[in-house]
Amino acid sequence: MNKKVMLVAAVLFSMLLTAACSNDQADPPAETPPAVVGNEGADEKDPSAEESSTEPIQEDKESTANTDVKPIGEPAAVGDTVDYHGAVITLNSVRDSEGDEYLKPQAGHTFKVVELTVKNNGQEPLVISSALSFSLTDSSDLNYTVPITDDVKMLDGTVAPGGELKGEIPYEVKQGVQGLQLSYGDPMKEGRAIWTVE
């Protein structure tokens, strides 16, 4: 009887040991697939994350690269930029002025002051003269003169290739005059750049 009990106990022990060994072997394969799937999922997410992070940067570059530069002959207004044979000119703003302590506009007139930025995209130095390069006219084609006043920083000078010049030009005009247009041109070149001044 003791031998039978010992034999049964030995058989049970060996069965338990076999079951324990088979459970130990089964666990690693069960744990391995989730780890591999998790890594693959992470690998798949990284490229898409990189793509989504690079796309907005490309859009920003495109939006900053696209500047609205108008060609000669196309109507322009305050804030617009016109490319006149490599002279890229922006009419930044227009303001009214009552002059300084030495010079004031005559009764019923005002100083219309235009602020401009000139960039030289050409290969040669660009000479800018506020009195000769620019003119202001109204709907009756009356050409206005440029007074000398300390109230403005005049737009005069030579712009080197790749350089930039910023300044103002005053014109004495009647208050409430209509159809004001600022134009820029070079007698040696074709056409003029024209802005509507409100």
- Which CATH number belongs to the domain containing residue 134 in this structure? 2.60.40.1240
Residue 60 lies in a domain: no
DSSP structure class, residue 111: E
- CA–CA separation, 169 and 10 (whole Å): 111
If one counts the domains in the chain, the total is: 1
Query: β-pairing, 193-196 with 76-77?
Result: parallel
**Does any domain span residue 180?**
yes
Residue 154's domain comprises 70-196
Task: Give the per-residue pLDDT at 190.
Answer: 92
Domain assignment of residue 4, yes or no: no
Is the CB of residue 30 less than 8 Å from the CB of residue 23?
no
- The whole-model pTM stands at 0.64
CA atoms within 13 A on the CB side of 196: 9
Q: How confident is the model at residue 32 (pLDDT cuts 50, 70, 90)?
A: very low
Q: Regarding beta strands 157-159 and 134-137, do their DSSP bridges make them parallel or antiparallel, or are they unpaired?
A: unpaired
Answer yes or no: is 190 within a domain: yes
